[in-house]
Structure 1
Amino acid sequence: MEINTNISTDINIQLEVADPQAAAAIYDAAFGLGDRLGFRASQTPTTGFRGFILSLVVSQPSTVDSLVGTAVEAGFAVLEPAKKSLWGYSAVVQAPEGTIWKVATSKKKEVGPFTREIDDLVLLQGVADVKASKQFYVDRGLTVSRSFGGKYAEFANSGSPVTLALYPRKAAAKEAGVSLEGSGSHRIVMNSGIGSFTDPDGFVWEEAV
């Protein structure tokens, strides 16, 4: 496939929800993401794990605690309480409409004044074959920034509001603290300049307008 190097690889996310206005208000109260996240109406059936995690990457533990606190106040459920791990400090919560979010920092101690700033929004797709999915996206113009064989792949965001990463579906479910079983729509759509298509794992991409 010939790659068009002039395409925009900026990625924007839309969650499919029953009531976009209500969802926008809940997310504004929880995380204050502004235009980093969009919503559109959909009643498409889905059950169980939707096959992805949205991750908020922040600078220090107090930011994790603050964002998890406002998320719970907004109606999110805690799937994995905030705790230290080998990789830092994180928690996993689930929005009222079902989307799973991880709030994480690589730091285990405070590194500066308190802030609620979000450094990165990562879409972690659970896929059947990381290597195959990685090549699929490379063929569409994305550049790999980190890759660990069939275990993980991440793409350069080049200033995009969202960073795309790939993880085995089973590992993604474990990360979320849920059963890996799930069916129906992912209830998420990506808008970008890399074209309109459905990837090998059923994630829908639409051309940004």
Structure 2
Amino acid sequence: MTSSLANLTLEVADLAAAERFYSAFVPGLPVALRASQEATDGFRGFAVALTVAQPADVRRLVDAAVDAGATVLKPATKSFWGYGGVVRAPDGTIWKVASSEKKDTAPATGRIDRIVLLLGCADVAETRAYYTERGLTVAKSFGRKYVEFDAPEGADAVVLALYGRRALAKDLTVPVDGTGSHRLVLGGTGAAGGPATDPDGFVWEPAQARAAA
């Protein structure tokens, strides 16, 4: 059986508030929520990236997040790679919204083309080896800088990617230091199903049927 990331669960201090935020930010987002009071401080070592078609969609989602209570970490703007912005949800999760396009060609739709979970790693090569030993298949690799694994087909698929922790924090414009819980649980299939903890402290459990946030 092929191993993969099947479920993504965010652990939040205020479950009702988080449900309200995500319903307003991206209704139907394939991410589960779970109540947790585990201590956490600073950068949690990950971000969720949403890829959209064009700048208008970036602005639409960033504005929706801010209206629902998110904090802007990086305003939506043009960059060398395209157009994007970064926000922190009230529960502390960091979201990156980006498009490879720099100009709009149609009205915004709010549609998400791709969801990528970016894990910040102390050593990308070491963490890559950990996951390949557990049956995940590498789809893209740029040495010790970035690794992306194959994901199941479907609109609800979340792609797992590895990024250097320091480089990820810099991209998100947050200090790299952080302690305590990641407030994140990954549900896997096959050998990745866990229970297990990867080299950077991210927890895996067997994939569960889950409702969207």
Instruction: Please indicate, yes or no, whether the TM-score normalized by the shorter chain is above 0.5.
Output: yes
Deviations 1:137-172 (A, max 9, x none): 111111111100001101111326200111110001
- Tell me, which stretches of 5 or more residues in structure 2 are unaligned? 209-213
More deviation, 192-201/65-74:
192-201
Residue number among 163, 184, 188 corresponding to 1:192 in the alignment: 188
Output the CA distance in 2 between the equivalents of 1:30 and 1:21. Answer: 14
Question: What is the aligned partner in structure 2 of residue 163 from structure 1?
Answer: 159
1:177 & 1:135 partners in 2: Cα distance?
A: 28
SS of structure 1 residue aligned to 2:182:
coil
- The whole-number CA distance in structure 2 between the counterparts of 1:139 and 1:8 is 10
Corresponding residue of 1:135: 129
Partner of 1:3: none
User: Could you say which residue in structure 2 is the equivalent of 1:14?
Assistant: 9
Q: Report the 3-state secondary structure (helix = DSSP H, G, I; strand = E; otherwise coil) of the residue aligned with 1:138.
A: helix
**One-letter code aligned to 2:193:** G
**2:211 aligns to what?**
none
Aligned-residue offset at 1:28:
1.1
| Contact kept? 2:124, 2:163, Cα under 8 Å | yes
Q: Is the 8 A contact 2:46 2:119 kept in 1?
A: yes
Task: Work out whether 1:107 is the aligned partner of 2:106.
Answer: no
CA contact (8 A) 2:124 2:144 kept: yes
Write the deviation string for residues 1-47 of structure 1: whole angstroms up to 9, x where unpaired.
xxxxx145242111111122321121110122x25011111000010
Please give the secondary structure, in 1, of the residue aligned with 2:193. coil
> What is the distance in 2 between the residues matched to 1:170 and 1:41?
28
Contact preservation (8 Å) 1:65, 1:82: yes
Q: CA RMSD in A?
A: 1.2
Q: Which runs of 4+ in 1 moved over 4 A?
A: none
How far apart, in 1, do the equivalents of 2:20 and 2:114 lie?
21
Q: Helix, strand or coil for the counterpart of 1:68? A: helix
Q: What TM-score do the two structures reach when normalised by structure 1?
A: 0.93
In 2, the alpha carbon distance for the partners of 1:151 and 1:92 equals: 20
In the alignment, residue 25 of structure 1 is paired with which amino acid? R
Question: Match of 2:186, SS?
Answer: strand
Take 1:142 and 1:129, find their aligned partners in 2: how far apart are those partners? 17
